[in-house]
Structure 1
Amino acid sequence: MHALLISDTHFPDRVTDISRLLRRMKEYEPELILHAGDLTDAEVMEELKRIAPAVAVQGNMDEANGLKLPVRKLLEIKGRKILLHHGRGVHPRGELNTLVYMAEEAGADVIVTGHTHTPVFEKVGKITVINPGSPTVPRFSPKSFMVADFGKIIEAKLVRL
C-alpha cells in the first residue's frame, strides 16, 4: 500500500496557504493518507480526502480548535498493524522508547507519530517508528512529509518541500 504520511500541518493558525503542499502530495498518487495530528482545521481533512482516503488522529492543538478526532487509531495495512498517534503526552517529546512501548502495547508493528515537527524513521527492536516531520512549521529540518510502503519490508521516503 502506497501511503502518504503527514503531521503537524497547523493550518490556518501558523500557515495560511497549503495549496503548494496539496499539489506536491497529489504528485505521489497515494492510496491512503495518514495524518498524525495537529491539523488545526477541518478543512485540512477535507482537502486530504480529495486526494485519497484519509485517516487522522487528534494532536495537542486540535481539540482547542474544535476538531473531534480519536487520540489514536490502530490500522491494518497489508498485514502490518500500524498505530497512528500524535505523540502528545510523550516526555520528552518524541522519546523513542516510550513510542515503542505504546506500539507494543497496541500490538502494532509500526507507529506513525508527530508532535516534534522533526522527521524520524527508525527501527527499534521489532517496532518501526516513523515521524514525517512537518510540511509547514518544521523544527531542525526542512519542511517535509513521507511516502511509505507497508509490506514485507517497510520503506519510507522523506519528501522535502
Structure 2
Amino acid sequence: MRIGIIGDTHRHMESIEKAIEHFKGCEMILHTGDNFEDASIIHSNTNIGIIAVKGNCDFEDVEDEMLFESCGKRIFLCHGHKYGVKHGNMGLEKRAKEVRADIVVFGHTHIPHIEETGGILFINPGSTSRPRSGNGSAGVLSITDENVEFELFEV
C-alpha cells in the first residue's frame, strides 16, 4: 500500500498542488493538520481517501489524533504539538507505546524527520508551505508484507 503524507499546508495552494502530483498511485493520504480544511481540497483534487487531524492552528471540532490499522501496521496520526515535538520525541514516543503503534505520523515542527526508535517508525513530512529547513516537503509511505519505506520529496 502507498500512503501519501502531507501536513502543515497552511492554505498554500501552490505547494499543495505540487505535493499531490507525487500521490499518484497512492491508496490513501494522511494530513497531519494545520490547516485541516486543506484535506478536503486535497481529496477533491485527487479523489483519494484522506485521513486528517487538526493541528494547533485548526479550530474545527474534529479529532486531533487517530489510531488505525493498515496492512497489519498500527498507525498513530497526530499533529504533535500536544506531545512537545519541537523539543524532541519523548512525549510522542510515550504515547506511541501506550497505543502500541508501529508507525507514528506527525507534523508541527515544519522540519522533515524520519527515525526508528524502539521498533516504532516516526515520520514527520515537514511542511509543504512554510519549511523551517530546506524546501517544502511531503512524502509517500510504502507498506508491503516484507517492508516499510518512506520516501520524502521536495515541493
TM-score of the two chains, using structure 1 as the length reference: 0.86
> Which amino acid is 2:4 matched to?
L
SS of the residue aligned with 2:82?
coil
Report the equivalent of 1:72. Answer: 65
Deviation (angstroms), 1:23 = 4.6
Report the equivalent of 1:140. Answer: 133
> What CA distance in whole angstroms lies between the structure 2 residues aligned with 1:138 and 1:19?
14
Deviation (angstroms), 1:39 = 1.3
> Which amino acid is 2:78 matched to?
H
Identity over aligned pairs, percent: 32
Deviation (angstroms), 1:97 = 2.2
The answer as to whether partners of 1:119 and 1:141 remain within 8 angstroms in 2 is no
Give unmatched runs, 5+ long, in structure 2. Answer: none
Aligned residue pairs total 151
Once the two structures are superposed, the pairs formed by residues 30-49 of structure 1 within 5 Å of their partners are 30-39=26-35, 42=37, 44-49=38-43
Structure 1 runs (4+) deviating above 6 angstroms are none
Deviation (angstroms), 1:90 = 2.2
> What CA distance in whole angstroms lies between the structure 1 residues aligned with 2:22 and 2:125?
17
TM-score of the two chains, using structure 2 as the length reference: 0.89
Give unmatched runs, 5+ long, in structure 1. Answer: none
Using a 3 Å threshold, how does the CA distance of structure 1 residues 5 and 94 change in structure 2: closer, same or farther?
farther
Superposed CA deviations along residues 6-53 of structure 1, whole A, max 9, x for unmatched, are: 110111xxx4xx14532541343121110011115x2x1222112110
* Structure 2 residue 113 is the aligned partner of structure 1 residue 120: yes
